[in-house]
Structure 1
Amino acid sequence: MAQSAELSSSLSFTSSSYLPNGSINHNTCSCYGSDPGPNLEVISLSKLSSTLEQLLLDSDSNYSDADIIVEGVPVGVHRCILASRSKFFNELFKKNKGSSEKDGKLKYHTSDFLPYGKVGYEAFLIVLGYMYTGIPKPFPMDVSTCVDSACAHDACRPAINFAVELMYASSTFQIPELVSLFQRRLLNFVGKVLVEDVIPILIVAFHCDLSQLVTQCIDRVARSDLDPISIEKELPLELSEKIKLLRRGSQNDAEDKHDAEDNASLVDPLRQKRISRIHKALDSDDVELVKLLLTESDITLDEANALHYAAAYCDPKVVSEVLSLGLADVNLRNSRGYTVLHIAAMRKEPSLIVSLLTKGAFVSELTFDGQSAVSICRRLTRPKDYHAKTEQGKETNKDRICIDVLEREMRRNPMAGDATISFHTMADDLHMKLLYLENRVAFARLFFPTEAKLAMDIAHAETTTEFAGLSASKGSSGNFREVDLNETPIVQNKRLLSRMEALMKTVEMGRRYFPHCSDVLDKFMEDDLPDLFYLEKGTQEEQRIKTMRFMELKDDVQKAFNKDKAEFTRCGITSSSSSSSLKETVKYKARRL
């Protein structure tokens, strides 16, 4: 509705009426002297608009003389209307290009006359409807929103993509008022979307020659931490060069001198050249060459972010081959905090996601802004695609498959939960999850301290607990609720996320090597934790009951632990509680994963 009002303000309707003093009012029209009345010109234009709209809506009275094919769907149009409303269509129809069918209609395919970009069926109907009626219609929700229930839908990728499609159509069809309208909308996106989502906006601005939008997008990308490889791969050379120049200039500024010196010390031309060669080998699908380059230099796959690069730009089979080398950390984060699974989720390629999960990718890993792989997929997926019915003989939509695979993995791991966290509520959610994790790890350390410590060592988790009374080591410090007054909310969130990820890995290690013990602890955390927070609280009778339940729990854990030991023994490896042999067992199994 806001769009309709905004665009309507650019259309002027004038008429005349006499005011009481005899002057003429050009804004209203009345047949009754000084009494205000309806504006006949506005009413007439509104009537004309609704009448012309029926030409598009009434399938029973189809008087169209041409079809425009959009995404394989024919849309009947009236060439006289389009030619009068658009210089582009006027020239197109003059040339009379199009294939004639048996019914005498000319056929035009949007893929033949769109010089760049993509215009979907729904975007084409929005622009076509404006050419017929002069009134912009609201955006269809099933193509301009995502399926993430926590999203406000004001800056998610489907909203951006739909506005980009509308801009391509408006610019190509030479409708200046729509170009102006959608440019303002895209300008509004630039300041609040993720920097990777600025890329399609910058590209459409470049192709449609929108200088103001181009300038703002370039400035946003240049000031961001988007890596140079992504900029070179995804933007035209002219734009990437401008961004490089801006970044060099900012590094030379006096106020950024210290940062520039730090960055310069990290840039090694020879090192960058070797990394570039590995990426080019991946582009060529030549994993054997990648192996050769690794042996000839001191660069590792992780240092080259080879898995991230392959997941973003290469064929899925290349990613599978790189994974099979066993030389890369599948859960490695890049400079922007994304794991390889996050990159695969952005690409929405099911085979990539499955390959990574089978190789041990952690589905519960969060980005610095609190997004998991499944929430990333949700924010990239339109309701139209997610809810589309699969026709017999046709493939299921990849967007839906990606979300289903990731959600099943989340359900398989109870610790993962629903990781859709909005930025505004992330800190509170983190504290709740950390509270659960801290308590769970604390009880694990209480019942089998050596094994729990081993799991924490593997996960690189430091020994901290929320409740000192539950800690296995007296006087432990590092409570995550401690407050640093100089710490910004973003830094705090990053610290909390890092802590939570370490604890999640600790629990996952426990599940992998001590599955029966983990099951007992899961049930305890769900059923008994509130009553056993403090054994010394309550009446004497309540304390006695708590103590009895606590001893029962210890027996349950010991029985479960014996089952875990028995499984190790059946594998041909002897183990004993809290012993070095159990450590070797875990390390041995870890090496095999």
Structure 2
Amino acid sequence: MANSAEPSSSLSYTSSSHISNGSTNHIISASSASENGSSLEIISLSKLSSNLEQLLTNPGIEFSDADIIVEGNPVGIHRCILAARSKFFADLFKRDKGCSEKEGKPKYCMSDLLPHGKVGYEAFLIFLSYLYTGKLKPSPPEVSTCVDNACAHDACGPAINFAVELMYASSIFQVPELVSLFQRRLLNFVGKALVEDVIPILVVAFHCQSSQLVTQCIERVARSDFDNISLEKELPHEVAQNIILLRCKPEPDGEHNTIVDPLREKRIRRIHKALDSDDVELVKLLLTESDITLDQAYALHYAAAYCDPKVVSEVLGLGLADVNLRNARGYTVLHIAAMRKEPSVIVSLLTKGACASETTVDGQSAVSICRRLTRPKDYHAKTEQGQEANKDRICIDVLEREMRRNPLAGDASISSPAIADDLHMKLLYLENRVAFARLFFPLEAKLAMEIANAETTSEFAGLSSSKGSSKGSSGNLREVDLNETPIMQNKRLRSRMEALSKTVEMGRRYFPHCSQVLDKFMEDDLPDLFYLEKGTPDEQRIKTMRFMELKEDVQRAFNKDKAEFGRPGFSSSSSSSSHKDSVKYKIRKL
């Protein structure tokens, strides 16, 4: 009989359901049975996929037998499923039982599993979901788009980086069908992305041995104006050399590329190597020994891209470089710093006169570059009091404030007219003022102090620790260096005063209304509020109430700053929890 040949019981059941009215001549065709069987198979696989997805999405179903730690977050996994779906994990679980705490699940660290690159938390969840369900979920917008409202998100930094992470995970964890899919997706990026955003695609293609993707990327970069020095810094040596050799070949029209002077290139590279070594003194020596200037070497561009922020500050301090110089690609130093997204470098440049409104050839300002490279997850991340703020967000805030701020009128001197012209008194004023700034908006104050190098200078104890000592006291004797001469002490104190002055200047520049409130407080209320714990209970209560009023004044001023800069969604750590204990800790006492 024809039906007896059907191998699947489900298909037999489907066939019998069509026999009616005792008709023995009604036989389902083989094609109809096949279609019904396929349909049932699809339904079964879909049901299986949904059931397995519950292991990842349903918090009430927690039967994972191991954890993989990704960006500090434990992700529960079922080793049997991963071993069945990936040869990498099958081999891993055979040879490595994972580190486990007492009576805890085995743990594997993602960074230990990857020989190169990184796979973020969200990317790993997408990858893991595919292993469990066979379905690839859409990329989460909070990590695969940028915060530039004008961007189509079809080739911005976060979109490319997220695809790069998934490509890397698919290759390292040996899931070939996903490798093919993300290789095609990255190929689509190559033609329309900015050349600097093609670099991470080329790196992952090289490490994943995707020859087609490598070839496409190399051709795109070789045709671009991306400089050879940056190629050597950001690409594997083999890849960079291939691009440089390709550029040396004659153009299709018979013309040769621009011939470079080997001696000049050697001298420029020496300057860059000195910057890599944080040796600005050597840079000065190299400048005197050759006819190369800092601008000709694009030394400030190089330092802003690759060197320690302190090196950038030291190079700026030489006063020999044009802070608004454009490199061969038409990028200013501030544009390069925006790509790096290091707040201290950006602020250092702005304080030395870098113009935030300058645009690239394609019309991008420093702040738009920064926004195009920043994920919504990072931009909107909440920061608790005293915790490190997200650098991407700070960079955008600083650049937007710089573009919108009004020049401050009048003398920006930090000295109050009521303060006597005495070094110790000025220092005491500055220490207390900065202490209050750190209390009310600590993260912003910390950035200002870093730019001013205030944290590297010794804190002034002086009169603030004398606690009733006679006028003219030298301060707390326990903090006095008996080997320090008066000249050395004066030099040290003046260095501290200059750093604190610059810190206050930064606050005035970016938080003018908050600074006005603090100025008024330092003149009118400071003496009374220093002794919150002293006096009668009623006096203490009045002082505490005044301190809380001050907090509200600062917050209103901060909101006013936000409104003027057009930033209603700005989330700062500046609101203080300001319990009495924190006040005692933060405020310097007379």
Quick one: which of 320, 323, 330 aligns to 2:316?
323
Q: Could you give the per-residue CA deviations for residues 103-129 of structure 1, whole angstroms, max 9, x where no partner exists?
A: 341111111111111000000000000
Q: For the residues of structure 1 that align with 2:142 and 2:235, how far apart are their CA atoms?
A: 29
1:141 aligns with 141
Distance 1:371 1:22, change over 3 A: same
Where do 5+ consecutive residues of structure 1 fail to align? 1-13, 31-37, 415-593
Matched, 1:22 2:29: yes
Shift of 1:253: 3.9
Q: For the residues of structure 1 that align with 2:244 and 2:34, how far apart are their CA atoms?
A: 53
1:211 aligns with 211
Whichever residue aligns with residue 164 of structure 2, its letter is V
Matched, 1:153 2:160: no
Shift of 1:26: 7.0
TM-score, structure 2 normalization: 0.64
1:99 aligns with 99
Q: For the residues of structure 2 that align with 1:240 and 1:84, how far apart are their CA atoms?
A: 39
Q: For the residues of structure 1 that align with 2:210 and 2:34, how far apart are their CA atoms?
A: 34
Q: For the residues of structure 2 that align with 1:116 and 1:358, how far apart are their CA atoms?
A: 37
Q: For the residues of structure 1 that align with 2:100 and 2:314, how far apart are their CA atoms?
A: 49
Q: For the residues of structure 2 that align with 1:196 and 1:254, how far apart are their CA atoms?
A: 25
2:421 aligns with none
Distance 1:356 1:15, change over 3 A: farther
Q: Could you give the per-residue CA deviations for residues 425-465 of structure 1, whole angstroms, max 9, x where no partner exists?
A: xxxxxxxxxxxxxxxxxxxxxxxxxxxxxxxxxxxxxxxxx
RCO (CA 8 Å, sep 6+): is it higher in 1 or 2?
2
Secondary structure at the aligned position of 1:385 is classed as helix
Q: For the residues of structure 2 that align with 1:253 and 1:168, how far apart are their CA atoms?
A: 34
Shift of 1:21: 8.7
1:284 aligns with 277
Secondary structure at the aligned position of 1:74 is classed as strand
1:566 aligns with none
Residues 205, 213 of structure 1: 8 Å contact kept: yes
Matched, 1:338 2:331: yes
Structure 1 residue ranges (4+ consecutive) displaced by more than 2 angstroms after TM superposition: 14-23, 101-104
Distance 1:398 1:253, change over 3 A: closer
1:561 aligns with none
Secondary structure at the aligned position of 1:100 is classed as coil
Secondary structure at the aligned position of 1:39 is classed as helix
Q: For the residues of structure 2 that align with 1:384 and 1:253, how far apart are their CA atoms?
A: 44
Q: For the residues of structure 2 that align with 1:95 and 1:82, how far apart are their CA atoms?
A: 15
Secondary structure at the aligned position of 2:253 is classed as helix
- Structure 2 counterparts to residues 104-143 of structure 1, below 5 A: 104-143=104-143
Where do 5+ consecutive residues of structure 2 fail to align? 1-9, 16-25, 408-590
Q: For the residues of structure 2 that align with 1:274 and 1:215, how far apart are their CA atoms?
A: 32
Quick one: which of 360, 363, 368 aligns to 1:370?
363
Secondary structure at the aligned position of 2:67 is classed as strand
1:361 aligns with 354
1:39 aligns with 39
Secondary structure at the aligned position of 1:108 is classed as strand
Q: For the residues of structure 2 that align with 1:49 and 1:409, how far apart are their CA atoms?
A: 52
TM-score, structure 1 normalization: 0.63
Q: Could you give the per-residue CA deviations for residues 46-88 of structure 1, whole angstroms, max 9, x where no partner exists?
A: 0000000001112122111111111111111111111101101
Q: For the residues of structure 1 that align with 2:11 and 2:230, how far apart are their CA atoms?
A: 56
Distance 1:136 1:119, change over 3 A: same
Q: For the residues of structure 1 that align with 2:60 and 2:45, how far apart are their CA atoms?
A: 24
Q: For the residues of structure 1 that align with 2:82 and 2:11, how far apart are their CA atoms?
A: 27
Q: Could you give the per-residue CA deviations for residues 364-400 of structure 1, whole angstroms, max 9, x where no partner exists?
A: 0000000000000000000000000002332000000
Matched, 1:54 2:54: yes
1:306 aligns with 299
Distance 1:334 1:256, change over 3 A: farther
Secondary structure at the aligned position of 1:310 is classed as helix
2:500 aligns with none
Larger displacement relative to structure 2 (369-378 or 273-282): 273-282
Whichever residue aligns with residue 190 of structure 1, its letter is V
Secondary structure at the aligned position of 1:394 is classed as coil
Secondary structure at the aligned position of 1:291 is classed as helix
Q: Could you give the per-residue CA deviations for residues 392-422 of structure 1, whole angstroms, max 9, x where no partner exists?
A: 33200000000000000011159xxxxxxxx
Shift of 1:20: 9.0
1:351 aligns with 344
Q: For the residues of structure 2 that align with 1:186 and 1:381, how far apart are their CA atoms?
A: 19
Matched, 1:173 2:173: yes
Q: Could you give the per-residue CA deviations for residues 5-62 of structure 1, whole angstroms, max 9, x where no partner exists?
A: xxxxxxxxx98988999342576207xxxxxxx8111111100000000011121221
1:228 aligns with 228
Residues 15, 41 of structure 1: 8 Å contact kept: no
Shift of 1:133: 0.4
Residues 15, 28 of structure 1: 8 Å contact kept: no
Q: For the residues of structure 2 that align with 1:22 and 1:47, how far apart are their CA atoms?
A: 27
Whichever residue aligns with residue 79 of structure 2, its letter is R
Larger displacement relative to structure 2 (239-248 or 354-363): 239-248
Residues 167, 182 of structure 1: 8 Å contact kept: yes
Shift of 1:168: 1.0
Distance 1:81 1:254, change over 3 A: closer
1:9 aligns with none
Whichever residue aligns with residue 402 of structure 2, its letter is E
2:575 aligns with none
Residues 15, 39 of structure 1: 8 Å contact kept: no
Whichever residue aligns with residue 74 of structure 1, its letter is P
Q: For the residues of structure 1 that align with 2:304 and 2:11, how far apart are their CA atoms?
A: 62
Q: For the residues of structure 2 that align with 1:345 and 1:114, how far apart are their CA atoms?
A: 29
Q: For the residues of structure 2 that align with 1:20 and 1:276, how far apart are their CA atoms?
A: 83
Q: Could you give the per-residue CA deviations for residues 262-321 of structure 1, whole angstroms, max 9, x where no partner exists?
A: x12xx2211111111111111111111111111111111111101001001111111111
Quick one: which of 242, 253, 256 aligns to 1:255?
253
Whichever residue aligns with residue 334 of structure 1, its letter is N
Distance 1:21 1:73, change over 3 A: closer
2:384 aligns with 391
Q: For the residues of structure 1 that align with 2:125 and 2:33, how far apart are their CA atoms?
A: 35
Q: Could you give the per-residue CA deviations for residues 193-242 of structure 1, whole angstroms, max 9, x where no partner exists?
A: 01111110000000011010001001111111110001111111110111
1:198 aligns with 198
Whichever residue aligns with residue 142 of structure 2, its letter is D
Whichever residue aligns with residue 202 of structure 2, its letter is L
Q: For the residues of structure 2 that align with 1:386 and 1:307, how far apart are their CA atoms?
A: 28
1:246 aligns with 246
Residues 142, 382 of structure 1: 8 Å contact kept: yes
Q: For the residues of structure 1 that align with 2:254 and 2:342, how far apart are their CA atoms?
A: 40
Whichever residue aligns with residue 92 of structure 1, its letter is L
Aligned residues: 387
Q: For the residues of structure 2 that align with 1:26 and 1:134, how far apart are their CA atoms?
A: 26
Q: For the residues of structure 1 that align with 2:113 and 2:252, how far apart are their CA atoms?
A: 49
- Give the root-mean-square deviation of aligned CA atoms: 1.9
Matched, 1:410 2:407: no
Whichever residue aligns with residue 31 of structure 2, its letter is I
Q: For the residues of structure 1 that align with 2:56 and 2:251, how far apart are their CA atoms?
A: 57
Q: For the residues of structure 2 that align with 1:372 and 1:171, how far apart are their CA atoms?
A: 36
Larger displacement relative to structure 2 (268-277 or 346-355): 268-277
Q: For the residues of structure 1 that align with 2:125 and 2:252, how far apart are their CA atoms?
A: 52
2:265 aligns with 272
